[in-house]
């Protein structure tokens, strides 16, 4: 059982902290939120300044919660939601492989699948969920993560995503 707990901890730390750092970069890297908002506007987001803030906050918050193993299914839902929006809005048109021009969707899908898998299994004994006796029994972790994540992404895309039409 310790091997499973060690594996879950490694997945949570790597994927959670990497995503949190990705969100941090949206705020403080390069041209900061202004640059992120400009890029969001370029891919068809309706309110790019707000979406840049929401995406960065979701990535940082969900990433840190996921790494700590705190409210893991909810944290996983944030990861699933933001990755689903990224796949649809920015990566799908580029194909599967990340090394393709414009970057494909394989890495975003990997993050979402890891989040769903950890939410399904539970955060493990080496987590704040365990320390605080927060438990989602059976399939509830998967249902919460997938339902909130995909539902949130669909809502965000329906309300906010207006892709530009390619010029002939």
pLDDT tens digits along 7-55:
999 999 999 999 999 999 999 998 999 999 999 999 999 999 999 999 9
Residue 102, pLDDT score? 82
Answer yes or no: is 42 within a domain. Answer: yes
Answer yes or no: is 8 within a domain. Answer: yes
User: DSSP code of 165?
Assistant: P
- Looking at per-residue pLDDT, the higher value among 78 and 103 belongs to 78
- The SS3 assignment for 161 reads strand
Answer yes or no: is 166 within a domain. Answer: no
Answer yes or no: is 59 within a domain. Answer: yes
Q: Find all residues with CB under 8 Å of 152, minimum gap 6, and list them.
A: 77, 78, 81
Residue 136, pLDDT score? 81
- Considering Cα of 120, then 125, then 127, then 129, what sign does the dihedral take? positive
Provide the number of structural domains found in the chain: 1
Domain housing 69: 2-160
């Amino acid at each position: 059982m310790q091997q499973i707990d060690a594996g879950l901890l490694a997945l949570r730390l790597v994927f959670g902290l990497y995503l949190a750092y990705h969100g941090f970069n949206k705020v403080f890297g390069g041209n900061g939120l202004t640059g992120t908002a400009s890029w969001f506007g370029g891919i068809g987001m309706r309110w790019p300044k707000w979406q840049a803030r929401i995406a960065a906050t979701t990535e940082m918050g969900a990433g840190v919660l996921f790494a700590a193993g705190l409210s893991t299914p909810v944290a996983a839902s944030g990861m699933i939601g933001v990755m689903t929006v990224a796949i649809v809005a920015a990566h799908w048109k580029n194909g599967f492989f990340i090394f393709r021009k414009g970057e494909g969707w394989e890495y975003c899908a990997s993050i979402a699948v890891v989040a769903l898998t950890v939410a399904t299994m539970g955060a493990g004994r080496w987590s704040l969920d365990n320390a605080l006796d927060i438990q989602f029994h059976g399939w509830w972790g998967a249902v919460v993560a997938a339902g909130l994540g995909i539902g949130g992404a669909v809502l965000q895309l329906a309300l906010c995503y207006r892709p530009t039409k390619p010029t002939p």
